[in-house]
Amino acid sequence: MAPPAKSFSRDEIRSHTTDESLWCIIDSTVYDLTDFLDAHPGGESVLRQVAGQDATTVFYNLHRHEVLSKYADLVIGTVSGEKPQVITPAPGDLSPVPYAEPLWLTTPFRSPYYRESHHRLRRAAREFTQVYIAPEALECETTGRSISQELIDRMERVGILRMRLGPGRHLHGRELFGGVVSGEDFDYFHFVILAQEICRPLARGFQDGNMAGMTIGLSAFLNFAPEGEWKDRVCEEVFSGKKKICLAISEAFAGSDVANIRTTAERTPDGKHFIVNGTKKWITNGIDSDYFVTMVRTGKGFSVLLIPRCEGLETKPIKTSYSATAGTAFITYDNVKVPVENILGQENQGMRVILSNFNHERWGMSCTVVSQCRAVVEECLKWANQRIVFGKRLVDQPVIRQKLAKMIALVEANQSWLESITYQMCHMPYSEQVKHLAGPIGLLKMSCTRAAHEIADESIQIWGGRGLTQTGMGRTIELFHRTYKFDAILGGSEEVVADLGVRQALKNFPKAML
């Protein structure tokens, strides 16, 4: 909001120092704090100490810039002959902070990977995220409530729900974000952009609450359900946002070692149904899902069934270290009757169904982890630049610059590797991707989550107590530090995906000797 057109001389401002009229200056803008004195969360006395003065430095030492937008009604004008200097980005704008954007978005750097439609999508996705996703993400992260139907409908209208499944036929014939890219042109780089933009609010629980179950659950259904009315109906229900779906693999008995699951599906004597018994644990979005893509043991192996919410299937919330808004569930199946037609792929060939999506899931997680890490780097750069401590900026301490250097290098290295792998995904036939990319994608995910570990650790040291506080300036750092481990565990633990990368490398090892 533009400040009122009135301007005041610094001499005049200096005379407003009493509880009856208390003014101060922040970034050449004049604030009347008289009626705010007893409402100020930081107390009255600190405001009296800056009465009539320029409080810019002390203000930014203690508050995020967004506080000023929230309290814009306290503004009464500007200082005569001065203009506010601090940037308030408009929705969709790029950040001018060094390393806050990947190189392809930074002038004058160039990239071989991105076209005009990628730039258009980036702007549209960021604007949408800032205007619609971020406010709800921050609220849900705190309250634990589920994503609203209103936001789901809004995402559906611009095509976000379909884009979350990556390129493919489900996007054909659609104009995404009202025409910034056509469904046919949507490629893996468009996906990287969307994934990296919508996680920018840094609300890790909400990020999963925002239809993460659909991205991993529906893809198995899309690729393995037989063509026909059933497939069209379920896809339409989920893509339209009317129904929710989740992927139920892990159990208390088996996490990353999926082959140890114990949930069983036995055929009824007439062969028309499976009877499912067992449990599933840590199922994202399970709490309010309508469909459960469930991995089960069948006669000679594993199978995957689409199970609608029905009698015998119950979901209970699991309290994790991120917000309940993710809808993390413990599921019990007690004699759940499922038609045999609900099988995805072949009976006893379910491992193929599950493995087929792992690459995409792990690559998608790498996209978001790099983006979150970058957002943390931006927070740290801004903080280190504005925080005055021991009489100088935090960033004037060499030890802080060392930490920032390490964090920046980790982010840039992982983004480059991500783009290089994404380029292969755009150009390799699927059969080659399956053969050649599982290893590199596993290593990429490991590299990203290791980087997140380092970045979470260093950022807390830069932020001090604020990095351990859930409100105020360091809230994003506190949340990142509390939740970065999710990505090191979900979708295959760091150790499992790292091991996969090395085992794949050794598979066709040449007779090369030292």
Residues that bind ligand HEM in the complex, under the rule CB under 6 A: 24, 26, 31, 40-42, 46-47, 49-50, 55, 58-59, 62-64, 67, 71, 74, 472-473
Cis peptide upstream of residue 98 (ω within 30 degrees of 0) = no
Considering beta carbons, is residue 63 or 145 the nearer one to ligand HEM?
63
Minimum separation from the CB atom of position 465 to ligand HEM (A):
8
Q: Where are the alpha helices (DSSP H) in 26-101?
A: 45-49, 56-62, 66-70
Task: Find out whether 149 and 211 touch, Cβ atoms under 8 Å.
Answer: no
Q: Residues 6, 80: contact at Cβ < 8 Å? A: no
Of the candidates 373, 504, 371, the residue with the CA atom closest to the CA atom of residue 443: 504
Q: Which residue is nearest to ligand HEM (CB)?
A: 42
Smallest distance from the beta carbon of 261 to ligand HEM, in angstroms?
45
From the CB of 478, what's the least distance to ligand HEM, in Å?
12
Secondary element (H or E) of residue 214: helix 212-224
CB of 380 to ligand HEM, least distance (A): 17
Question: Could you identify the residue written with the tokens 């004049």?
Answer: 30
Q: Which is nearer to ligand HEM, 70 or 110 (CB)?
A: 70
Could you tell me the smallest distance in angstroms from the CB atom of residue 469 to ligand HEM?
A: 7
Least separation in angstroms between residue 29's CB and ligand HEM is 9
31, with CB counted inside 10 A (0-12, 13-18, 19+), is buried
Residue among 26 and 369 whose Cβ is closer to ligand HEM: 26
Shortest distance in whole angstroms from residue 157 CB to ligand HEM: 33
Nearer to ligand HEM, 82 or 495 (CB): 82
Of 24 and 500, which CB lies nearer to ligand HEM in the complex structure? 24
Q: Which two tokens stand for residue 43?
A: 């107390």
Sequence-distant (≥ 6) Cβ neighbours of residue 91 within 8 angstroms:
126, 127, 130, 131
Q: Find, among 227, 334, 209, the residue nearest to 278 by Cα.
A: 334
Output 18 or 402, the one with its CB closest to ligand HEM.
18
Least CB distance to ligand HEM at residue 443 (A): 40
Half-sphere exposure of 180 (CA within 13 A, CB side): 23
Cβ proximity to ligand HEM: between 42 and 226 the closer is 42
Q: Are 388 and 61 in contact (CB under 8 A)?
A: yes
Rank residues 102 and 467 by Cβ distance to ligand HEM and give the closer one: 467
> Taking the mean position of all CA atoms in its chain, how far away is CA 238?
20
251: exposed, middle or buried (Cβ count in 10 Å: 0-12, 13-18, 19+): buried
- In DSSP notation, 259-308 reads GG---EEEE-TTSSEEEEEEEEEEETTGGG-SEEEEEEEETTEEEEEEEE
Query: Given the DSSP bridges, would you call strands 343-344 and 301-308 parallel, antiparallel or unpaired?
Result: antiparallel
Cβ distance to ligand HEM smaller for residue 46 or 388: 46
Of 102, 138, 107, the residue nearest 122 (C-alpha): 102
Task: Look up residue 86 and give its amino acid.
Answer: V
Nearest to 483 by CA among 442, 453, 451, 445: 453
Choose between 72 and 426: whose C-beta lies nearer to ligand HEM. 72
**Residue with tokens 């990239």, as numbered in its chain:** 111
CB of 387 to ligand HEM, least distance (A): 11
Three-class DSSP labels, 305-362: EEEECCCCEEEEECCCCCCHHHCCEEEEEEEEEEEHHHEECCCCEHHHHHHHHHHHHH
CB of 37 to ligand HEM, least distance (A): 10
Question: Quick one: 59 or 114, whose CB is closer to ligand HEM?
Answer: 59
Structure token pair of residue 126:
């960021």
CB of 50 to ligand HEM, least distance (A): 4
Closest CB to ligand HEM among 44 and 288?
Answer: 44
Minimum Å distance from CB 477 to ligand HEM?
13
